[in-house]
Chain A
Amino acid sequence: MMPVEQAVGRPVGAAALLVLAGLFVTSLFVGVGEVSLGGAFTDPDALYLIAASRLPRTLAAVLTGAGLAIAGLVMQTLARNRFVEPTTAGTGQSAALGILLVTLLMPSASIALKTLVASLTALAGTSLFLSIAHRLPPTQPFLVPLFGLVYGGVVGAAVTFVAWHADLLQFVEIWTSGEFSGVLRGRYELLWVSAAMLAATWIFADRFTLMSLGRDVSVGLGLDYARMMQIGLVIISVVTALTVVVVGLIPFVGLVVPNMVSRLMGDNMRSAIPWVAGSGAALVLVCDIVGRLLRFPYEIPVGTVLGVVGAAAFLWLLFRRPAHA
C-alpha cells in the first residue's frame, strides 16, 4: 500500500475507504423490506433479511465491480489499448456462448462446471480478439475498440442464433442481463473466486506494468512474455465468466474505471490496483442503489443503468482525450 499513500496521501485514501463503506452500508438498507438501523440488531426478521438477501447482494456488487474493473485493467495492458474491456470486446459474449452450449449439451451441469466451460470459451474468444488486435496498426488507436465492439456483436449474434434454434432465447436474455435482484445467500459465493483473481493481479502487477511497454522491450528486460500473456488471459476470462454466470453482462465498468484512475494516478499497476478495485466496487454499488431507487419499489437492472452511465462516460473519454491513446 505504500506507493499509493505516497502518491495520493493518507487522507485521500482514508476518505475513499469511508465513501466505499458508506455505500456498502447504504446498499444494506435500501430495499422493499423495511429494515431500520436499530432493527438490524434487535429484530430477528430484519437480521434474517440482511443475512440472506441484502448482505449477499451487496457483497456480490462489490466483488463484481472490483473484479470487472481489474479485468478491464489487465485487458487494457494486454491489448495495449485504453479503450477495450471484456464486455465490449467479445469476452462476455464468448462466455455466454459457453454457458449456452453447456446448457444445451448437459442440462444438469452444476454451476461450477458451467463456469468452467464459460471460462474456457471466454479464453478462446479473448485470445482470438487479442491476436487480431495485435496485428492492427498501432497508429490507429480507435480501431482496436471498434473492432472489439463489432466482434462482440458477431459473437452475440451467434449466441442469439443458437439460442433461437434451441428455443432458449428467453433463457439467454435473462441470463445475460446484468442484475443483482436474484442474488441470495448460496447464489453468489462463486464470485469470491474473482477476489482470488484480484490477488493474482496484485502479485503479477509489476510484470504486467512491464508488459505494457510492448513485447520487445519487456522480453529484453527478462520477462516471460508468452507466460504473462496466458496468466493475463486467464484472469480476464475467469472474472468475466464468473460475472456472466452469476449476475450477467455488466458493461463499461472495466473501461471507465481504469481510465479514470490512470488519469489521476498514472500507469504503475501495483499502486493503481487498490484504487481500480475500490472504484469499480463503488461504481457498481452506486448504480445498483440508483437502479433500486429510480422506480421504487420496482428495480432497474444494474446493467441497464451502467449501459447509460458507462456509454456517456466513454463518449466523454473519447472526445476529451488526445488522439494518442
Chain B
Amino acid sequence: MRDRSTIVLAALGLTALACIGAFMTIGLRGNIAFALELRSTRLLALVLVAISIAVSTVVFQTVTANRILTPSIMGLDALYVFSQSLLVFAVGGLGFASLDPRLKFAGEALVMVALAALLFLPLLRSRVDLILMLLAGVTIGVLFRSLSSLLARLIDPNDFALLQGASYAGFGKIHGELLLAAGVLSSIGIAIAWRMRHVLDVLALGRDTATGLGLEWTRVVAGLIMLVAALVAVSTALVGPVAFFGLLVVALGERLIDTRRHAILLPAAALVAIIVLVGGQTILQHGLGGVSTLGVVIEFVGGLVFLAMLLHGVRR
C-alpha cells in the first residue's frame, strides 16, 4: 500500500517534470533567453494555479465530507469576481486602473475571505441536505455572476471592458504583475494545508469522531474555509474562474493512489493538476492551435465527470 502510493507519486512527479520540460522547450526559436523568461513566468503561474486549485479542492471536500463538492461548484470563484466588481464600484474605474495591482489583489482577497466566511459557515453549520447545498451553491454562483455583470454595467460603460476580462477563464492570458503577491499568498496557504495534513485526516472521520478526538471542529473548519477562499482568490486572480478543474484532478488523483490520506492525496492531486494544466497547455499550444480553449475543454470534460460522479453516487 505504502509502496504503491510512493511509486505512483514518483511516476506522477516524473510525468509532471516531463510536461514542464516540454512546455519550456517545444517550438523554441528566436531570442532564446527572452522566450525562456516569458515561458517561465507563465509556467510559474500555471503551476501556482494548479497547486492552489488542487489543494483548495481537497481541503474543501474533506471539510464538507463530500467528494463531489469543489469550491468553484459552490460559487466561490464567482464570489471572487463579484468582490472585484464591488471594489471597482467602490473606487471607480479610474481609481481601479491606477491602484497598485498588488494592493488591489490584497483587497479583493480580503473581501473574498470575509464574504466566504459570512456565506459558507452558516451553510456548513446547518448541515442541510447535500444535494440541496450543491444546488444552492450553483445558484449562488449564478447570482454572483449576474451581480458582477450588473455592477460592471453600472460602473461606467467605458470601464465595462476592464472587468469583462476577469469574468471568464483563460489560461492564455495571465496577469503577470500579480504573480509575486499571488505566489506569496498561495505558498503560505499551501504550507498551512500541508502542515495540517494530519488534522485533515482526523477531520475526514466526521464531525463527531473528530470532536471526540479533541478537535475544536468549528474553529478548525472556519480557518480551513478561509484558507480555501484565499487559495481560490489566487487561482481566480491569475486565470479567472474554472468550474470543474478541481473536481477533475482530485478525482483522478484519488483514483490513482487509492487512498484519502492527505499526506499522499495532497501531492498527488497537485501533481495531476500540474500535468493536466501544463501538459494540456503544451498540447493545445502546439498541436491544436487555440491556447485559450483549454479552460473550455476542462469545463466540458470536468462537467461530464461531475455528472457521472453525481449519478454514480446516487445509485450506490
Interface residues on A, range: 35 or more
In the complex, what's the smallest C-beta–C-beta distance from B238 to chain A, in angstroms?
20
Asked whether any CB of chain B lies closer than 8 Å to the CB of A174, the reply is no
A136, B292: Cβ atoms under 8 Å?
no
B142, A311: Cβ atoms under 8 Å?
yes
Known: A146-B131, A164-B293. A304 touches B303 (CB 8 A): no
Alpha-carbon distance A320/B92, docked complex (angstroms): 37
In the complex, what's the smallest C-beta–C-beta distance from B299 to chain A, in angstroms?
4
B129, A142: Cβ atoms under 8 Å?
yes
Asked whether any CB of chain A lies closer than 8 Å to the CB of B44, the reply is no
Interface residues of A in 243-293 (CB under 8 A from B): 251
In the complex, what's the smallest C-beta–C-beta distance from B157 to chain A, in angstroms?
5
From A47-55, A71-79, A151-159, give the one contacting chain B: A151-159
Residue picked from A146, A251, A305, A311, most chain B C-beta under 10 Å = A146
Residues in A with CB closer than 8 Å to B299 are: 153-154, 157, 160
A307, B149: Cβ atoms under 8 Å?
yes
Alpha-carbon distance A142/B130, docked complex (angstroms): 9
A157, B138: Cβ atoms under 8 Å?
no
Interface residues of B, count at CB 8 A: 34
Asked whether any CB of chain A lies closer than 8 Å to the CB of B145, the reply is yes
* Chain A: CB-nearest residue to B147: A308
Known: A143-B131, A145-B135. A298 touches B153 (CB 8 A): yes
Alpha-carbon distance A136/B310, docked complex (angstroms): 10
Interface mask (B286-303 → A, CB under 8 Å = 1, otherwise 0): 000010110011011001
B293, A161: Cβ atoms under 8 Å?
yes
Residues in B with CB closer than 8 Å to A130 are: none
Known: A153-B243, A307-B142. A147 touches B310 (CB 8 A): yes
Asked whether any CB of chain B lies closer than 8 Å to the CB of A294, the reply is yes
**Contact of A146 (CB < 8 Å), options: B135, B145, B149:** B135
Alpha-carbon distance A150/B138, docked complex (angstroms): 9
**Contact of B307 (CB < 8 Å), options: A154, A160, A294:** A154
Alpha-carbon distance A164/B297, docked complex (angstroms): 11
Residues in B with CB closer than 8 Å to A318 are: 132, 135-136, 139
Chain A contacts to B: CB under 8 angstroms: 83, 132, 136-137, 140, 142-143, 145-147, 149-151, 153-154, 157-158, 160-161, 164-165, 251, 294-295, 298, 300, 304-305, 307-308, 311-312, 314-315, 318-319, 323
Main SS of the interface on chain B?
Answer: helix
A140, B131: Cβ atoms under 8 Å?
yes
A315, B136: Cβ atoms under 8 Å?
yes
A161, B296: Cβ atoms under 8 Å?
yes
Could you list 6 A-B pairs, sorted by A, with CB under 8 Å? A153-B243, A153-B299, A154-B304, A158-B300, A294-B154, A318-B136
Alpha-carbon distance A160/B134, docked complex (angstroms): 24
Main SS of the interface on chain A?
Answer: helix
A150, B296: Cβ atoms under 8 Å?
no
A308, B136: Cβ atoms under 8 Å?
no
B146, A304: Cβ atoms under 8 Å?
yes
Interface residues of B in 203-227 (CB under 8 A from A): none
A300, B307: Cβ atoms under 8 Å?
no
Residues in B with CB closer than 8 Å to A153 are: 243, 299, 303
Alpha-carbon distance A59/B136, docked complex (angstroms): 34
B296, A160: Cβ atoms under 8 Å?
yes
Residues in B with CB closer than 8 Å to A146 are: 131, 134-135, 138, 310
Known: A154-B307, A157-B299, A298-B157. A149 touches B290 (CB 8 A): no
Alpha-carbon distance A154/B153, docked complex (angstroms): 27
* Chain A: CB-nearest residue to B292: A164
3 closest A-B pairs by beta carbon, nearest first, are A307-B146, A311-B143, A154-B303
A150, B303: Cβ atoms under 8 Å?
yes
**Contact of B293 (CB < 8 Å), options: A165, A308, A314:** A165
B293, A315: Cβ atoms under 8 Å?
no
Known pairs A146-B131, A149-B138, A161-B297; list 13 more (Cβ under 8 Å): A142-B131, A146-B310, A154-B304, A160-B296, A161-B293, A165-B290, A300-B150, A304-B150, A305-B150, A307-B149, A308-B147, A308-B150, A318-B139
A161, B300: Cβ atoms under 8 Å?
yes
B150, A315: Cβ atoms under 8 Å?
no
B135, A154: Cβ atoms under 8 Å?
no
Alpha-carbon distance A295/B314, docked complex (angstroms): 46
Alpha-carbon distance A145/B131, docked complex (angstroms): 10
In the complex, what's the smallest C-beta–C-beta distance from B160 to chain A, in angstroms?
10
Asked whether any CB of chain A lies closer than 8 Å to the CB of B117, the reply is no
